[in-house]
Amino acid sequence: MNDLTRFTLRMIALLAIPVAVGVLTYAGIKQLFRVPVNPSSTEKVLVEVRPEKNFRVFSKELAEKGLIKHWRVLDVLARIRGKDTQIKAGEYELSAAMTPIEILHKLVAGDVFLRRVTVKEGTSIREIGKLLESAGLTSANEFDRAIYATPLLYKAGINAESFEGYLYPETYNFSRTDPVDHIIWRMMEQGEKQWPDEFTARADELNLSRHEILILASVIEKESGNASEAAMISSVFHNRLANGMKLQSDPTVIYGLKDFDGNLTKADLQNPHPYNTYVHYGLPPGPICNPGINAIRAALYPAETNFLFFVSDGTGKHVFSSTLKEHNEAVRRYQIPGAAADTNAQPPAAE
């Protein structure tokens, strides 16, 4: 081997060293992208990406929380892949068992953590606000302001003072970044889906507007602890309206009381607030809760009966009566055993 050959081989070897180091360094960095801090961790950590937050600052927060080994790992990974400006704002559920690649993918995809809220049939807008606050989605006060917002009601085509009755009972998933208007709109749209053309035609047959049907459905919802009785209870209210009688429904009284303590008094029944159907004839001015589909159907399709009264039998069901005399007997039997009923008075449709 001549001197030239030896020199050439030495030069190749010298040049190969930094290349090899570079390759090994890059391989090591790539490995960092694929290794979680703690593969066996089961702890979930909620972190929030704000629109105004710098990604490097966010990466440092993840490192402080022990979700990545060093903030530069995620920062470099995002920059190498050109994703550092594609991170979606929102709340994310992350874990130390996730690799930096998995974390970055979740942030870029906008796979945000969703908070579940279940609105049950008969829930009022006031109660929905508290549910949303408990879920960390908004404050009850902010929701209360939005629910009465005239521009939003106008946009929805609702001629009422609030969205009461129009927010459909359902289980919803919302992100913390969802504006309160969006939350209301989602619930309202769900209600729209439950109102087919058939319902509009049926409401026209009854000479009632959709708003009036929702009012009646909301009263039925609050009165019917047993869903199977909804159509029967509906028939009582339809019959009372047709006969020019007051609805005399306790839930309507309670709805209009600012500080109801759970004890409905005689003074409450005489309170002249607009929702009191012991004082005022006809339907209350608006829904008293957000009814479910069963109550809405019952309002549209009441059972065919002559009943004008009903009283709880103590089992969650009701006893229905067509005459005041029958009703007084039922009240005496199920509500005030041994007491004589006042046959000169007109007892309410429900206790």
- 249 within a domain of the structure (yes/no): yes
CATH number, domain containing residue 90: 3.30.1490.480
127 plus 224 within the same structural domain: no
pLDDT of amino acid 348: 52
Rounded distance between C-alpha atoms, residue 251 and residue 323, angstroms: 23
CATH number, domain containing residue 122: 3.30.1490
pLDDT of amino acid 226: 87
275 plus 228 within the same structural domain: yes
214 plus 148 within the same structural domain: no
- Residue 341: partners with Cβ closer than 8 Å, 6 or more residues away: 328, 329, 331, 332, 347
DSSP-assigned letter for residue 40? T
pTM for the model stands at: 0.82
For 256-285, the pLDDT digits (tens) are 998 888 899 999 999 999 999 999 999 999
- 350 within a domain of the structure (yes/no): no
Nearest alpha carbon to residue 271 among 288, 287, 250 = 250
pLDDT of amino acid 334: 86
- 11 within a domain of the structure (yes/no): no
Rounded distance between C-alpha atoms, residue 179 and residue 187, angstroms: 13
For 114-132, the pLDDT digits (tens) are 999 999 999 999 999 999 9
The number of domains in the chain is: 3
pLDDT of amino acid 18: 52
Q: Which of 98, 113, 128 is the last residue of a domain?
A: 113
For 205-225, the pLDDT digits (tens) are 999 999 999 999 999 999 998
234 plus 267 within the same structural domain: yes
For 288-345, the pLDDT digits (tens) are 999 999 999 999 999 999 999 999 888 889 999 999 999 999 999 888 755 444 444 4
Q: What percent of the chain shows pLDDT beyond 90? A: 72
216 plus 159 within the same structural domain: no
87 plus 104 within the same structural domain: yes
Domain that holds residue 305: 197-334
Rounded distance between C-alpha atoms, residue 293 and residue 227, angstroms: 11
